Amino acid sequence: MNISFGGDFTVAKSIEEVFEFLTDAERFCPLLPDFQSMKKEDGEKFTVTLRVGISHIRGDAKVKMKLLEATRPSHAVYEGKGDVAGGTATLRAGFELANADGGTKVVWKGQAQIAGRLASLAGGLLEPLAKKNVQKLIDALQAALG
């Protein structure tokens, strides 16, 4: 199952402040919905543990993430892969930053692929839930950067 997401928002912080925040896993990971923990492996790699589940399939997802691209102060891309309850997930998410009147415009986009029992059993529930959780993250990022 493939899920794509994206959008944009503007915050009052400088482009450099926004870039620093979004490329620091210790600052943004706690904002992830159902965040459990984060372990930094080196400057670009970290593992995030999230509580996931739909219906009777529940558990922790350990996702190994890497900051794949970072062009200061306007662009970054993360890539990750992990085991989730009843399947596997791979994801790629990134952002583009631009100066805006009195702040910074953040354009974000990503894609996730979920395979295994979770995708087959969850059916049509998975994509709306994923998009709801992405929106929760974006709302939390806006609040943290506001």
Range of the domain at 39: 2-145
Which tens digit of pLDDT belongs to each residue from 80-94? 999 876 788 899 999
pLDDT surpassing 90 at residue 99: yes
Check which CATH number belongs to the domain holding 44 and give it: 3.30.530.20
| Number of domains forming the structure of the chain | 1
d(C-alpha 36, C-alpha 6), whole Å = 24
Between 137 and 87, residue with greater pLDDT = 137
pLDDT at site 117: 72
Q: pLDDT at residue 132 above 80? A: yes
Which tokens belong to 54?
């739909």
CB 48 within 8 A of CB 60: no
pTM: predicted TM-score of the whole model, two decimal places = 0.89
